[in-house]
Structure 1
Amino acid sequence: MGSQSFERLFSPLTIRGHVIRNRILSSGHQTYLAEQNLPGPKMIAYHEARARGGAGLIITESARFHASSSSAAPDLVILEDDQIAPYAALAEAVHRHGSKIIGQLSHSGRVTRRMAQGMRGVVYAPSPVPDHRFHTLPREMPSEMVAEIIRAAGAGARRYAEAGYDGVELMASHGLLFAQFLNPHSNLRQDLYGGSFENRLRPLREALILARQAIGPDKILGLRISAAEDEISGLEEDEVIRICAALSSEGLIDYVNTSYGSMAALGASVHVVPPMEIEAAYLASKSQAIRAAVSVPVFLAGRINQPQLAEAVLAAGQADLCAMTRAMITDPELANKARLGRTDDIRACIGCNQACIGHYHAGNPISCIQNPVTGRETIFAAPPVRAKVAKQVLVIGGGPAGMKAALTAAELGHKVTLAEARAQTGGQALLAQLLPERAEFGGLITNLQAELARHAVTLRLNTRVDAALLAEIAPEAVVLATGATPYRPQIEGAEAGDLIDIADLLKGAAKPGKRVVIADWRCDWQGIGAAVMLARAGHHVRLAVDGICAGQNLQQYVRDLWAGRLHQLGIEVIPYARLFGVDTDTAYFLHGASGQPIILEGLDSLVLATGRSPLLELEPVLHAAGLPFITIGDCATPRSAEEAIYEGLAEVSAFLSA
């Protein structure tokens, strides 16, 4: 990428007297780092890292401001005055590094299961209209409760102001409560909060008025809203523009923070955190349309992962501030690196969604598959403490685990040799990037290779390690990261069928026949990707999944996106299908729940996505040589790039510090 001037990106933006030092925003996003539902050391360290890294504005995640939206989840709450102090500590940490900070106020309305003690709670919304994701049929809020929630929004805003925040943002995005009031499909009320446009706007409008009264004239008051909800019964773009224009013209908001989609439906949810399959900065025209209708700054989110992209959006007049949230989850120093012209050093987000929103949906704290320090800032020192004595370290295997291990050892001050048997580093990620619409996954390899090039690591490609090479290098410590090889289960009649391993399919080393069945034990990207790839190439494809659905092990937004792709292509998905046997034109499966046969006739080729086996041949060699070593990544047990890179940092750090 090289050095580039970012004149607009690093120009200040003043909102209500607050000077934001640049146009880089970390937008509100759930971290699950709260402790007792309040900011604590982990959340403070997380946001402080991004402030230290140069972000202009940090909007902290949505806090529940009324008890009717609280649950057992580790979300933030801002319900009582005795909760102000933890927010003040977070604000002070962000301000210490020159960033501004704004806090979100949110109520989920119907888009929640509201779980506590394993049970669903009572859910309130404008009207008893069900959602199509959480399968919640809410109770209609009494008018008195609506007024109470409006007052609670004002009280929550006051608490943020007293904590020293620079401003407050009310959420009417993604089909949340205020959006439900705005939407005539989810607001069927006949009182002063429903019916006409003015009545549907009333809850949000009155909440903004009370928030302004509570925070005073010197704090920022913003609105987050989806530019459209992309759902059959969602808010349309023209309705959203009308809402923003009305609030702006009354002087009730200081900015509009645009997003897209709705949490109330499966297909529209993907826009909450759009993955790599969706074009970068794809919402710029939407924010531009809102910007033309309002007199306040407009913020833009949606796959802005490089400073060059943000600069282009700003130059085109499509937004005034760019949310680079996941970009800074991956590289908290992005802003500083761009400002100093070190764009080649930026670790680019690849939009995989695995450890950011994926962790959240699994109930775990936020992280990043490329940057295990994210969400663990209180655990890992940055920069790492260098070793007092440099060791000769040999890393065997150049996949993600091996590359990260070599980087970790080098950053600790050791002398590192990385030996890779093939002509290129990258391991399984080289195959992952070959799947349809997944080329950006290869950025993981590119980022690791660029980081390796900046360190004194001796890279030996086309090098198989044996006892002789161990004697030549004479390492004092060895990291074994040799990965895994395709696993072939016992399949009755395998010699009679045309069986193709999915790795050979992706590499082009095998050509399937016209009619293909994919045996998908993994329930992840491989089976779905192969099915789509073959269907687009004109093959008849059936996807037999050894699980409850295709993509069972994927983050739910991307799983649902690809379920739509499979349906559009007419690919038959057979769930609960455990591979048993094959012959020349038939594949035989057993139903995973009933044990009854599933017989798929009329096939030419059976593609196997049946997992991998660890490559452990060197373990006895290392034992025989008496060398201290650890085994990490897929050769410990096959998993994903996230575990591989994490172990390349955490386990290697511990091993070399022992």
Structure 2
Amino acid sequence: MTSPDLTAPLSSGNLQLPNRLCFSGHVTNLSDGPFLSDRHLAYFRQRLSGNIGMLVNDPLPVHPSSDTLRTKLTLNAETTQSFTALTKACQSHNVKAVQQLYHAGAHGFAKTSFHPSWSPGGAPSLHDQDTSHKMSGEEIDILIESFVTHALNAQEAGFDGIEIVAGANMLFEQFWSPLTNPRDDRWGGTFEKRMTFSTEVVERIRKTVGEKFIIGLVMTSCDGYPTSLSDEELEAIVSYHDALGCIDYFSFSIDDDLPENLDRQLDRIARYRNRIANGCLRVAGNVTTPERAEHILHRGGADFVGMTRALIADPSLMEKYRSGDRQSIRPCVGCNQGCIGRRARDYTVACLANPSAGRELRFPETVPQAKAPLKILVAGGGLAGMEAARSAAEAGHHVILAERGEELGGQWRLAGLLPKRSAYQKLLDWYRYQFQLLGIVPLTGTEINRDKLQASDFDHLIIATGAGPTKTGFQRPLPNRSVLPGVHSENVYPVEDVLSGITPLDKTTNARVLVLDDIGFRQGIGTALFLANLGHEVTFITRHAIPSPETLSLKDHEWLPAKLTNLGVTLLTETLLLSWNNGVAEYGDSASSAPHSSRFDFLVLATTNSANQELENQVAETPLSYSLAGDCQGARKGHMAIYEGRKAIMAIHCGDDKC
């Protein structure tokens, strides 16, 4: 059988899609209380314009016992009209609209719901310290009716279907698993009884909404986690529910973004696919490029694929892919800073690579054309400068981009040298391609200063000179020590110098290296792994209780502990470096504690950078028109740099900085 192309239509029962691409369900937090907001609708309309086949709206809790969302998005008679605006937009683009429903079972969030979490067996939450309430038979009936009511509300709002989050150890899976369902009544015990709750839900939904309404079941493949159902159990569950004849599609996710692990996971998912006789299969999760989507389809398992992050990064991905202009697709680099990371903190959706994501009303996907084109000089070729230059040229301005170094990319280029961050290079490649299309010829090796400004002809200057290492060894728990004693001695280097290859560390092996991390993000622990991969004996010292806590919400800790162990990195957590004396490090848990000492060959600093303000200081007292973007205003993360690069150009259009 010939496998379908990503652009090919899907025709199977209720699934009549113009192509095989689904914008998967995810939390945006863009709603206006219980209503879909104009901002929310603008976000989805932008993705609809890119020729997708299905759109899944933000997940909705079906009952207060499972409310995990800050925004309180609700689908009922009062809010239906705001949802109808979305479904009508989907219809106008021939896109199937699906509403995602869920109940988290034991893992509800009483801090926002002010309601005990309901579960089959009263198990403790795995997400916080709370214990759930074991449901009575009457309460189980209430939840079944809640699923049915929400499905009916979705139909009345114009949705073509609903999908239920059944995996991820949520309520359905808690009923399915003997680990979380110890009941001995009609809802638990034997395999068939553990299937009773989900059977009742889907059969009653089908009876209520009729045969022409899509019903999907989102499941989780066996990932080795202690609560995971085994492959054999999942195969049996899929087969059981498929035989009900109520499910239009089953969805499984890829839980690893490494290319070498993709086929292994697809082979596992194929086992579930072989148990589906009546429905279709969607594969989602880590589907970040059209090429990966095609590979998933061409293996013959999936009928269609789900993308989230890739379509956040570039809503026109499918349109560009269909036209053959694949280099123009703005890449998802898997950093998770704007999407998954912000969701974990209950912020609104955003994207590092795409500053328009979630801001479509203020930042159009295509920068508006300037009424009066200007000559714009951009000083600095890091993320902020590159985005400012690209946006300015897209708006019709004449652009000169000057970078002091010999390569574009700044801190981002160095970050791409860290383990598991090679995808960062894709974003730099995209900018280079955009510069070719827009006629921008970057002037590398060119530093902008007062003399060059006086000799230049331009209307507006954008200063995007970034930030650089202070080399002071400052640690936040010791605010009265601005400089680490001994830090200015030999063999002390910031991580930027290590990654730039200008230290002896890439020319030697087996050196004893101490990496001091005060920031808690990727540059510290990433450099430690980078050095361990070079064969050095690395000790990592940090004030934090765990290495790299700022990446907990970015999913790095799914692989980081094992990697540290395998490379033999020694961890000194909740520890301060008190002094460095010609290779002897003194450290302890506070400035007043009795210190320990160890000898090392090198000290590497992952500490606070400072803004490069030299150019700003030179022009501040002149009549030159200028604005600032990125880390030259204060060292932060990459998503702020790109956002401010775009904002600088939009402010020229608006006449102020409120865009």
TM-score normalised over the length of structure 2:
0.92
Q: Where does residue 478 of structure 2 map in the other structure? A: none
Task: Give the secondary-structure state (helix, strand or coil) at the position aligned to 2:634.
Answer: coil
- Structure 2 residue identity aligned to 1:314: L
Residue of 45, 48, 52 corresponding to 1:48: 45
Asked if the contact 1:12–1:20 (Cα under 8 Å) also holds between the matched residues in 2, the reply is yes
- Measured after TM superposition, the shift of residue 12 of structure 1 is 0.8
User: In 2, Cα distance between the equivalents of 1:282 and 1:24?
Assistant: 22
Q: Where does residue 492 of structure 1 map in the other structure? A: 485
1:571 aligns with 2:553: no
Q: Where does residue 285 of structure 1 map in the other structure? A: 267
- Structure 1 residue identity aligned to 2:107: V
- Report which stretch shifted further, 378-387 or 346-355: 378-387
Question: How many correspondences in the alignment?
Answer: 637
- Measured after TM superposition, the shift of residue 539 of structure 1 is 2.9
User: In 2, Cα distance between the equivalents of 1:598 and 1:152?
Assistant: 60
User: In 1, Cα distance between the equivalents of 2:182 and 2:228?
Assistant: 14
1:475 aligns with 2:492: no
1:461 aligns with 2:444: yes
- Measured after TM superposition, the shift of residue 538 of structure 1 is 3.6
Q: Where does residue 121 of structure 2 map in the other structure? A: 127
Q: Where does residue 605 of structure 1 map in the other structure? A: 602
Q: Where does residue 89 of structure 1 map in the other structure? A: 85
User: In 2, Cα distance between the equivalents of 1:18 and 1:129?
Assistant: 37
Residue of 301, 325, 331 corresponding to 1:318: 301
- Structure 1 residue identity aligned to 2:131: L
- Report which stretch shifted further, 535-544 or 148-157: 535-544
User: In 1, Cα distance between the equivalents of 2:210 and 2:149?
Assistant: 12
- Measured after TM superposition, the shift of residue 527 of structure 1 is 1.4
Counting only pairs closer than 5 Å after superposition, residues 163-182 of structure 1 correspond to structure 2 as 163-182=157-176
Residue of 325, 332, 336 corresponding to 1:349: 332
Residue of 565, 587, 590 corresponding to 2:585: 587
User: In 2, Cα distance between the equivalents of 1:74 and 1:220?
Assistant: 26
User: In 1, Cα distance between the equivalents of 2:203 and 2:442?
Assistant: 62
Distance 1:71 1:351, change over 3 A: closer
1:367 aligns with 2:350: yes
Task: Give the secondary-structure state (helix, strand or coil) at the position aligned to 1:479.
Answer: strand
Q: Where does residue 65 of structure 2 map in the other structure? A: 68
- Structure 1 residue identity aligned to 2:173: A
Q: List, as ranges, runs of 4+ consecutive aligned residues in structure 1 with deviation greater than 6 Å.
A: none
User: In 1, Cα distance between the equivalents of 2:570 and 2:104?
Assistant: 35
- Measured after TM superposition, the shift of residue 641 of structure 1 is 1.1
1:501 aligns with 2:494: yes
1:385 aligns with 2:379: no
Q: Where does residue 504 of structure 2 map in the other structure? A: 511
Task: Give the secondary-structure state (helix, strand or coil) at the position aligned to 2:555.
Answer: helix
- Measured after TM superposition, the shift of residue 357 of structure 1 is 0.9
Q: Where does residue 107 of structure 2 map in the other structure? A: 111
Residue of 180, 184, 204 corresponding to 1:186: 180
Task: Give the secondary-structure state (helix, strand or coil) at the position aligned to 2:78.
Answer: helix
Counting only pairs closer than 5 Å after superposition, residues 168-567 of structure 1 correspond to structure 2 as 168-259=162-253, 271=255, 283-295=265-277, 296-489=279-472, 490-496=483-489, 498-512=491-505, 514-561=511-558, 562-567=560-565
Task: Give the secondary-structure state (helix, strand or coil) at the position aligned to 2:79.
Answer: helix
**Structure 2: tracts of 5 or more residues without a match:** 473-482
Distance 1:468 1:458, change over 3 A: farther
Distance 1:382 1:497, change over 3 A: closer
- Report which stretch shifted further, 583-592 or 376-385: 583-592
Asked if the contact 2:462–2:627 (Cα under 8 Å) also holds between the matched residues in 1, the reply is yes
User: In 2, Cα distance between the equivalents of 1:557 and 1:391?
Assistant: 40
User: In 2, Cα distance between the equivalents of 1:653 and 1:277?
Assistant: 38
User: In 1, Cα distance between the equivalents of 2:498 and 2:285?
Assistant: 33
Distance 1:406 1:347, change over 3 A: same
- Structure 2 residue identity aligned to 1:461: T
Asked if the contact 2:331–2:353 (Cα under 8 Å) also holds between the matched residues in 1, the reply is no
Give CA deviations for 1:424-455 in whole Å, capped at 9, x if unaligned: 11111111011111111222211222222211
Give CA deviations for 1:454-506 in whole Å, capped at 9, x if unaligned: 11324212111233422333111000011122111122123556312212222
User: In 2, Cα distance between the equivalents of 1:636 and 1:651?
Assistant: 13
1:153 aligns with 2:147: yes
- Measured after TM superposition, the shift of residue 376 of structure 1 is 0.9
User: In 2, Cα distance between the equivalents of 1:20 and 1:615?
Assistant: 52
Distance 1:150 1:372, change over 3 A: same
Distance 1:75 1:548, change over 3 A: farther
- Report which stretch shifted further, 530-539 or 613-622: 530-539
Asked if the contact 1:192–1:199 (Cα under 8 Å) also holds between the matched residues in 2, the reply is yes
- Structure 1 residue identity aligned to 2:415: A
Task: Give the secondary-structure state (helix, strand or coil) at the position aligned to 1:494.
Answer: coil
User: In 2, Cα distance between the equivalents of 1:71 and 1:557?
Assistant: 19
User: In 2, Cα distance between the equivalents of 1:84 and 1:90?
Assistant: 10
- Structure 2 residue identity aligned to 1:292: N
User: In 1, Cα distance between the equivalents of 2:602 and 2:246?
Assistant: 63
Give CA deviations for 1:240-291 in whole Å, capped at 9, x if unaligned: 111111111221211101126xxxxxxxxxx4xx567995677422332221
Asked if the contact 1:154–1:210 (Cα under 8 Å) also holds between the matched residues in 2, the reply is yes
Asked if the contact 1:112–1:134 (Cα under 8 Å) also holds between the matched residues in 2, the reply is no
Task: Give the secondary-structure state (helix, strand or coil) at the position aligned to 1:532.
Answer: helix
Distance 1:577 1:60, change over 3 A: same
Give CA deviations for 1:608-639 in whole Å, capped at 9, x if unaligned: 11121211211233235521111211111111
Asked if the contact 1:51–1:98 (Cα under 8 Å) also holds between the matched residues in 2, the reply is no
Asked if the contact 2:65–2:108 (Cα under 8 Å) also holds between the matched residues in 1, the reply is no
User: In 2, Cα distance between the equivalents of 1:365 and 1:277?
Assistant: 29
User: In 2, Cα distance between the equivalents of 1:280 and 1:287?
Assistant: 11
- Report which stretch shifted further, 647-656 or 333-342: 647-656
- Structure 2 residue identity aligned to 1:579: L
User: In 2, Cα distance between the equivalents of 1:8 and 1:349?
Assistant: 21
User: In 2, Cα distance between the equivalents of 1:655 and 1:600?
Assistant: 55
User: In 2, Cα distance between the equivalents of 1:373 and 1:276?
Assistant: 28
User: In 2, Cα distance between the equivalents of 1:34 and 1:563?
Assistant: 36
- Structure 2 residue identity aligned to 1:111: H
Give CA deviations for 1:331-372 in whole Å, capped at 9, x if unaligned: 000011111221111111111111001111122100100101
- Measured after TM superposition, the shift of residue 38 of structure 1 is 3.1
Asked if the contact 2:379–2:463 (Cα under 8 Å) also holds between the matched residues in 1, the reply is yes
User: In 1, Cα distance between the equivalents of 2:403 and 2:188?
Assistant: 65
Asked if the contact 2:62–2:101 (Cα under 8 Å) also holds between the matched residues in 1, the reply is yes
- Measured after TM superposition, the shift of residue 297 of structure 1 is 1.1
- Measured after TM superposition, the shift of residue 25 of structure 1 is 1.0
- Report which stretch shifted further, 275-284 or 329-338: 275-284
Distance 1:567 1:146, change over 3 A: farther
Asked if the contact 1:280–1:305 (Cα under 8 Å) also holds between the matched residues in 2, the reply is no
**Structure 1: tracts of 5 or more residues without a match:** 1-5, 261-270
- Structure 2 residue identity aligned to 1:573: L
TM-score normalised over the length of structure 1:
0.92
Asked if the contact 1:34–1:43 (Cα under 8 Å) also holds between the matched residues in 2, the reply is yes
